[in-house]
Structure 1
Amino acid sequence: MSSHGNLMVDSKKMKRMISNRESARKSRMKKEKHMNDLNQQIFYFRKRRDEMVMKIEGIAKGHSELEMENVVLRTQKQELENRLEYANSVCDWYENDGVSRSSMGVVQEPWLRPLEQQQQQPTNSMPMFMGFISSK
């Protein structure tokens, strides 16, 4: 009976050993699958990060361009406001002081000169660039 008892113990040990090996193999496979999933997530998130960085760089570049355009537009706006203010002051001066057009003198801005002064200029004079082109 002792040899029969040893066989039962050996058989149980063998079953347990096989079961442990199978369990360890499953555990290794599960761990490997988990590692593969984590590596795929790393790849996915790195790719997404790179895409976002590219988008952010594009947006930042566009923002910089808009800021530069904004500066130009603000400068132009200020220039136009200054011209309008000057034009209004000339109009106020002309209308309120009762000064005749001939006593206004020469206005610095050609676009603000009275109509008569502009018409007194010779009509056959070409702009400088036209004269330059036609002389060749």
Structure 2
Amino acid sequence: MASTKQPVSPGSDEDLRYAGVDERKRKRMISNRESARRSRMKKQQHLDGLISQVTQLQNGNKLIEQKVNKVDNMYIKLVSQNNVLRAQLVELTDRLCSLNSVLRVAEEVSGFAIDIPEIPDTLLEPWQLPCSVQTVAASANMFQC
């Protein structure tokens, strides 16, 4: 017995069923494409945000580096000035000692009493200050450039 295929009419139930399956596949495929597109856009927006944040952080780092360099240069200048002042202190202390010795010789030769003050210890030992130590409150923006 030969099986005979019956021609399926274009409006049969089977065609409608397959057409419904094909339509669902097509809609699912479109939905998946749209979802993938949204996902790519979301990733791109996130990446753009991260790139923007990196740029901001790099700019912030440059500003901080510039401020640190400026403070470092100021510190170097202050150390240099402090060294100059210390050298001047030594020179002036030596000069004062020399002048005091001249006064002592003049006092011995003349016989007149001359009041020769002693060199204050603070000149020889600057860590021993003659005045009371006062605390200094530093403000948060004290070192802003």
Mapped pair 1:23 → 2:32: no
Q: Which runs of 5+ in 2 are unaligned?
A: 1-12, 112-145
Q: Deviations over 1:34-87 (max 9, x none)?
A: 111011111111111111121122112111111111110010111122223334
Give 1:100 deviation, angstroms.
2.3
Amino acid corresponding to residue 101 of structure 1 in structure 2: S
Q: Which runs of 5+ in 1 are unaligned?
A: 103-136
Equivalent position of 1:114 in the other structure: none
Q: Where do 1:113-128 residues align within 5 Å?
A: none
Q: Deviations over 1:64-122 (max 9, x none)?
A: 11111111001011112222333444445555xxx2239xxxxxxxxxxxxxxxxxxxx
Equivalent position of 2:66 in the other structure: 54
Higher helix share goes to which structure?
Answer: 1
The 1-side partners of 2:101 and 2:24 are apart by: 111
Amino acid corresponding to residue 80 of structure 1 in structure 2: L
Amino acid corresponding to residue 61 of structure 2 in structure 1: R
Q: Secondary structure at the match of 1:100?
A: helix
The list of structure 1 runs, each at least 4 consecutive aligned residues, that deviate by more than 6 angstroms after superposition, is none
The 2-side partners of 1:2 and 1:94 are apart by: 136
The 2-side partners of 1:15 and 1:93 are apart by: 115
The 1-side partners of 2:106 and 2:17 are apart by: 129
Size of the alignment, in residue pairs? 99
The 2-side partners of 1:101 and 1:53 are apart by: 66
Q: RMSD across aligned C-alpha pairs, in angstroms?
A: 2.0
Amino acid corresponding to residue 51 of structure 1 in structure 2: L
Give 1:31 deviation, angstroms.
0.9
Equivalent position of 2:109 in the other structure: 100
Q: Deviations over 1:5-31 (max 9, x none)?
A: 211211211121111011011101101
Equivalent position of 2:114 in the other structure: none
Percent identity of equivalent pairs: 37
